[in-house]
Chains A and B, each alone.
Chain A
Amino acid sequence: MISNCKSDFCIPAPKDYPFSMAVFSFCINMNSDAYAVYLASKISNKSTKKYRKPYQLNRYFYQLAGLELDMEVVKWGDRLLLNVEFGLFHLNMAEKKRLKLYALAQDLLFEGQYEHGQFPQAFFEEEKANQQKEIEMLMSNPIEWHFQLFMEKMFPNDPFRYSLLGTKEQVRDCTNEEIGKIQKDFIQHSQRIPVLYGTFSEAETAYFQELANQGKGLSENPGIQVSRKPFVTYEEETTYQQTWVFLGYRHPIDQNHRLYPALHIYNQILGKLPASVLYTRLREKSGLCYSIGSSLPFGKEVLFIIAGIAYQDKDIFLEELEKALLSLSNFTKKQQYLKLAKNRILSNLQGWKDYPMARLNFELEIKIKKASYTYSSYIQAIEKVTWEDLEEISRCLWLDTLYICKGNHKAR
């Protein structure tokens, strides 16, 4: 019998909602093997013992029409995750068919190394070459590549800086055996967290529970102690047209800090709202950039500001940026913007009814970070944020790293 499930990892869906979704996450602390986990997941996704060619696997998957399966390795702050995402569109969908999808996911995850205990060599070589190309392409993308370089400057001793792709050398030198071993270790030592949304049978919930029980608990991440110091500036010449400015700010507000909900409101007002302070002052009023925004990476006590500018405007841009940050304390539209940011966050939270994958990710975040809030207490906390909270955040932010990637602007 399929019904709204009652397990503590289940979120009930509204009546008659035709989708159910599940995320099964494998999670460890971020480390330098991330590239190998990424590579292994790509190879595993290509075949199983039964469906040895990708097109055969895809045809089988098309026959399970109405079911979606996605596997992705992601970096969430200082955590490395392999998320297996199931989309179950259950108009006339038999439970038997859903179980086939879980079995397929399990085969992909655990049976990837079916050729003499290793990944099929051809797929290994193919994906290794693929990842090397991905690295080369990353290096030709101005924002992404320089963001990576900026991360290395700002977090020189912190695993947070590692990219999922790794370095060209790491990928070039790895062997099938090493990647296989790293994948096995990853699966064995990771914490396993299921989150379900919608309607599931008892057999299905039991299946997820059993799989989760086989995982390990996640060890505490010791983190890196950082002290407040004057910021460091780096500037690099590039062949790009545009100049990019990356600013890394630190703060002490983790997910269990009382100001955590306020931090998200602060970020909205500063650089996320379509008419944010940064957008309004630096783009619309001063015409200094096209792209500008701020972001809060999950699970790390930092705030980034990234903007694309003309190099000749660099000094005035930085001056205006500082004014914009300071302007928050004597802002004339305090209550209006506070209401605006709250409304936006609350609207997004309500909108998850139509897009449950976002809700699932939120639950996953709570479980991984052992956060003290829940979906409903977070909503209440957002409603209670005051302007004074934002000013407090403003005072405890400090600029740590300024990284400028200088363009040549030849086309201007």
Chain B
Amino acid sequence: MKFPFTIEKEVIHDLPVTWIFTKQFVTNSILITVNAGSLYESNEFLPDAKSGIFHFLEHQVFRLLSGKDAMELLNMYASNANALTAREKTCYYTHFVQHDIEILKILLQLVFEKKRFTKERVEKEKKIILNEMLMSMDDPLFATFESWNKLVYQHYPAWRSPIGTPESIRQITPEKLNQAFELFYHPKQSELVIMTDKEKSFWLPAFDTLLQMEIKPGFQPKILSIPHDPDTKSGKAFTKLTIDFPIPYFMAGWKPLHQEFTYRDGIIGEMISQILFGITAKFQDDLYAKSLVDDSFSLDWDWDRQFGCWYMSGFSYQPEKVIDAVEKEMRRRLKTGIRKNEFQIHKRYSLVNSTMEAYHPKEMVFQIQTLNRFGMDGWDEYYQLVQSITWEELNENLPRFMPESQFKASILLPESDSA
């Protein structure tokens, strides 16, 4: 299979860079990721910092040392920039059609240039983030997913939202921000992925910006592998909570055994979940036919190298019945396994899909970054991986991905009902 781009990797001034060269697309993208995610907001790395500090930093680094706003500058080049903080990283990215070397320079500057966090600016940011938090609090799904993650991960910080809490945000100071920035924001702990229809020589001079910045020369990267979740055999769990929804909500799923995943494991998990409970499964049809679920029914596989779970969720007036049905289907499938024709239909679809995904230039930088994190070479390897997965392998992996001993369920009832 031939894909519309080629990939090259190198390290430039301590910064790992992945080039995705294309002549197919006019949309160019640059992504810089820093290993600063909420999973690292721990005593081990940041004894004085509280949860939400990396998300706060993500907002604050846009103010450059010159006093200029990097977002405003990126705008000048018709570049659509944004940022996000996740559990294992903070991402800064931009998409554009009109090339300008300044775009890359600004992005490098906003991530790596030394910052001056002022009290006044930090206090203003607290107001903005508290407004962002209120918005999340008004979305009951936000609290629902947090409680689900707590149920699944228990003592592992993957349940925590990167945004923090009102209390933790109030305690953030310019000094704490500076400390977190100094420890985490360094090229050695970051990665850049660029997708472009320009030659490498066009962009290379921008990297000299890194030499002009005050970046610690002898910086030793911290050991930033995501900590393991030791709790892989926490057993069955079931909770009933109340929530500000008009309709009950259910969540039901599994925490696979051995919480350590390769990319192949990720694909296997995705295929198993889709074949057993996705739109081509009779099981989902039956739930609809009995009016147990509606269009809010969704199937998710939330995973990374060191943690993961998969689950179904949605609104239902009879959430207990849905959970019973899922449990029953689990037992049945553990006995009967996946049928060959179910596997074949899905595999064919997955292969075409992995080719079609290669034609989304805005997504590609994120996809390649994820493949890099898993030590994969590029899209060809990903495609071959999908191609190599066998029916037997899926069935062998069923007990690991759908362990009866790790079945978790949660029901969220409207406050009025529980009263």
Interface residues of A (CB under 8 A from B): 18-19, 42, 53-55, 58-59, 62-63, 65-66, 89, 91, 122, 125-126, 129-130, 133-134, 136-137, 139-142, 239-242, 273-275, 280, 283-284, 287-291, 308-310, 336, 340, 343-344, 346-347, 350-351, 353-355, 407, 409, 411-412
Contacts and interface: CB of A to CB of B under 8 A. Distances in A.
Contacts of A137: 246-247, 296, 315
A412 B282 CA distance: 47
A242 B80 contact: no
Contacts of A291: 131-132, 135
B288 A126 contact: yes
A411 B142 CA distance: 15
B166 A290 contact: no
Contact of B133 (A55, A126, A142, A411): A411
A242 B134 contact: yes
Contacts of A289: 128, 131
A241 B137 contact: yes
Contacts of B81: 274
Nearest to B314: A133
Interface string B339-382: 00000011011011101100101000000000000000000000
Top 10 A-B residue pairs of the complex, sorted by shortest distance between their CB atoms: A343-B78, A290-B131, A287-B124, A275-B72, A242-B134, A290-B132, A241-B134, A65-B352, A287-B127, A347-B97
Contact of A274 (B25, B75, B315): B75
A336 B284 CA distance: 54
Given A65-B352, A241-B134, A407-B134, A347 B291 contact: no
Nearest to B284: A55
15 contacts: A65-B353, A130-B295, A137-B246, A140-B245, A141-B139, A142-B138, A240-B138, A275-B71, A290-B135, A310-B127, A340-B75, A344-B80, A346-B78, A354-B26, A354-B27
B285 A53 contact: yes
Contact of B27 (A142, A241, A351, A412): A351
Contacts of B353: 65
Q: How large is the interface on B (under 10, 10 to 19, 20 to 34, 35 or more residues)?
A: 35 or more
Contacts of A59: 280, 345
Contacts of B82: 274
A290 B129 contact: yes
A115 B31 CA distance: 53
Contact of A54 (B132, B137, B288): B288
Nearest to B96: A347
Interface string B69-91: 10110111110111000000000
Given A290-B129, A412-B130, A275 B69 contact: yes
A133 B137 contact: no
Given A54-B279, A129-B291, A354 B361 contact: yes
A354 B134 CA distance: 37
A122 B289 contact: yes
A63 B138 contact: no
A336 B26 contact: no
B294 interface: yes
Interface in B294-312: 294-296
B128 A19 contact: no
A133 B294 contact: yes
A4 to B, nearest CB: 17
Contacts of B139: 141
Contacts of B285: 53-55
Contacts of A65: 348-349, 351-353
Contact of A290 (B71, B98, B128, B282): B128
A351 B26 CA distance: 6
Contact of A283 (B128, B244, B352): B128
B69 A89 contact: no
B65 interface: no
Contacts of A134: 294-295
Given A240-B138, A310-B127, A354-B27, 11 more contacts: A55-B279, A58-B280, A65-B352, A89-B352, A122-B289, A126-B288, A126-B289, A133-B294, A308-B135, A354-B359, A409-B134
A63 B291 contact: no
A89 B1 CA distance: 14
Contacts of B247: 133, 136-137
A274 B71 contact: yes
A63 B75 contact: no
B284 A18 contact: no
Interface string B111-130: 00000000000011101111
B75 to A, nearest CB: 5
Given A344-B78, A353-B26, A91 B355 contact: yes
Given A347-B98, A411-B134, A340 B359 contact: no
Contacts of B80: 274, 344
B281 interface: yes
Nearest to B73: A275
Contacts of B280: 55, 58-59, 62
Given A53-B285, A242-B131, A66 B352 contact: yes
A66 B345 contact: no
Contact of A140 (B123, B244, B348): B244
